[in-house]
Homo-oligomer: A and B are copies of this chain.
């Protein structure tokens, strides 16, 4: 409902300009944002052509490769298109995720495995999720309830290009109980190893190391 106002090429130019303020090797997280500047008489429906825009550049160091997190179940779920704007990366989706993080941190865990309304695993509270079993990869199939991220897509392509089978499929909590390895995938940290899901312990194993190596090889190449 917010009218976009900035061409992609102009956005890229602004980012490049902004990045000049940072050291060459700085890890900078880039957040372009639109928001509504004004609404109708009730203040609910955004007015057309009243769009705010900003790009936030924030220096956020990459986590160490062996900085693993822990996961648990959450009572909260991903919304569906009928009751929230899951077809956008929208600020209004975040309070739900914040509740998940508060809930699981209070129980001593780092993040949550979150299901959709059907009880199938969707992602974590902050990133997409993968599991490895018997030398193959599994990740929840994109079903409209979570953002299937560009980093998720990159990992899938990298694995497949290297001859590893990746299943985009329906996964339950029980599948994660039976996994050999689990890692999170997002644009901020690229790969976050997982060392436990409730009472189940995982190794930071060959698949988790491999996905990281493939990602950084790609990022350092001409294609990245």
Residues of A within 8 A of B (CB): 1, 39-42, 44-46, 60, 75-80, 82-85, 90-99, 101-102, 105, 117, 125-126, 188
With contacts A75-B82, A76-B83, A79-B79 known, is A95 near B1, CB below 8 A?
Answer: yes
Q: Do A102 and B42 have beta carbons less than 8 Å apart?
A: no
- 6 closest A-B pairs (Cβ-Cβ)? A92-B92, A79-B83, A77-B82, A45-B98, A92-B95, A44-B98
Oligomer copy total: 2
B-side contacts of A76, CB under 8 Å: 82-83
B-side contacts of A95, CB under 8 Å: 1, 84-85, 90, 92
B-side contacts of A44, CB under 8 Å: 94, 97-98, 101, 125-126
B-side contacts of A125, CB under 8 Å: 44
B-side contacts of A79, CB under 8 Å: 79, 83-84
| Chain A to chain B contacts (Cβ below 8 Å), 8 pairs | A1-B98, A42-B101, A75-B82, A79-B83, A83-B117, A85-B95, A91-B92, A92-B96
Nearest B residue to A105, CB-CB = B45
Q: Do A46 and B98 have beta carbons less than 8 Å apart?
A: yes
B-side contacts of A77, CB under 8 Å: 82-83
B-side contacts of A40, CB under 8 Å: 101
B-side contacts of A101, CB under 8 Å: 40, 42, 44-45
Bound: A76/B101 CA distance, A: 27
Chain B: minimal CB distance from A84 (Å): 6
Q: Do A84 and B98 have beta carbons less than 8 Å apart?
A: no
Chain B: minimal CB distance from A195 (Å): 19
